[in-house]
Amino acid sequence: MIKSFKKVYEALNWASSFLTEHNRDRNAGEILLQHYLGVNRSRLLASLHDELPEHIKALFIQAVQKHVAGTPVQYITGSEEFYGRTFKVNEEVLIPRPETEELIEHALLKIKKLFPTEHPLELVDIGTGSGAIAVTMKLECPKLLVTATDIAKSSLDVARTNGDALSAEIEWVQGDLLAPFIEKGQTFDILLSNPPYIPVADKETMSVVVTEHEPHRALFAGEDGLDFYRRFMEELPYVMKKPGLIGFEFGAGQGNSVAEILQKAFPKALVSVEYDINGKDRMVFAEL
């Protein structure tokens, strides 16, 4: 079938069967073919009976096979949609997830409630990766003065590219968690982070699409997945203003543990666990 298909719909049928057979999402074929043809979904569906150019066919077959072998679709296309915008991604950064869009939704609502005045607010995104949180917060709430950090220069390069492409004015800082700001005595009104939170043992049961391609420094965090939250609690008191807002994403089922660690660091804070659209605990916030 690989050699014989000529039409767009035949290519999609082949991809769907091949992907299903190898336990991959059958919709990946559509996404990949849209990418190589440079069209949106409605245009793709309108061209089902068009002939597929030979060079596109070759690229498409190669991409589908690459995804079956484990490479995430987003690393093949080089992009992912997040909060209605397109972000560049590669294997130096975590692929932005829909759950993180919910972290932003909650943060924006809490900022309005906690900071009703129009004076500029300073926000920092720790472990920015692709820059999805920092860039989105700046564009959704332009009054924010946004700083974003990552320990890896290679990740910051991707984030900076996204910030430039989407015209988001952000200060990019390379450093380990809050160390660069503690050294300078810099403080913030708002801190958001989607840190690594997967227990190391979970690696055995996770898809190779994740474990063999996404950066481990952005995924795993010790035996119970809470190492980074513990480190944050030691450093946060040095950089947070009052009133202030702290928001973290975490793995489903970690809510009580992260909330407890956060409440211990800020005994007077209002700490709340928020649930995602699927009813799973996913975010914790502390209002100082």
Q: Is 16 annotated as a binding residue?
A: no
The reported pLDDT for the residue numbered 2 is 57
Q: Is 279 annotated as a binding residue?
A: no
Asked if 284 and 271 touch (Cβ cutoff 8 Å), the reply is yes
Find tokens 């030979």 and name the residue: 54
- The full set of domain ranges for the chain reads 8-69, 80-287
For residue 118, pLDDT over 80 is answered with: no
| Euclidean distance between the first and the last CA atom of the chain, given in angstroms as a whole number | 62
Which CATH superfamily is 80-287 part of? Vaccinia Virus protein VP39 (3.40.50.150)
Q: Is 117 annotated as a binding residue?
A: no
| Residue 39, amino acid | V
Q: Is 78 annotated as a binding residue?
A: no
Asked if 101 and 82 touch (Cβ cutoff 8 Å), the reply is yes
The reported pLDDT for the residue numbered 215 is 59
Mean pLDDT of 24-37: 95
Find tokens 């690229």 and name the residue: 59
Q: Residue 45, SS3?
A: helix
Instruction: Tell which residue, 55, 29, 59, has the closest CA to residue 44.
Output: 29
Q: Is 38 annotated as a binding residue?
A: no
User: Does pTM top 0.95 for this prediction?
Assistant: no
Q: Is 247 annotated as a binding residue?
A: no
Q: Is 130 annotated as a binding residue?
A: yes
Q: What tens digit of pLDDT does each residue of 196-239 get?
A: 666 555 556 656 655 565 555 554 555 667 888 888 899 999 99
Give the residue with greater pLDDT, 254 vs 140: 140
**DSSP secondary structure letter of residue 284:** E
Question: Which residues on neighbouring strands pair with residue 190, listed in sequence order?
Answer: 123, 245
Q: Is 155 annotated as a binding residue?
A: no
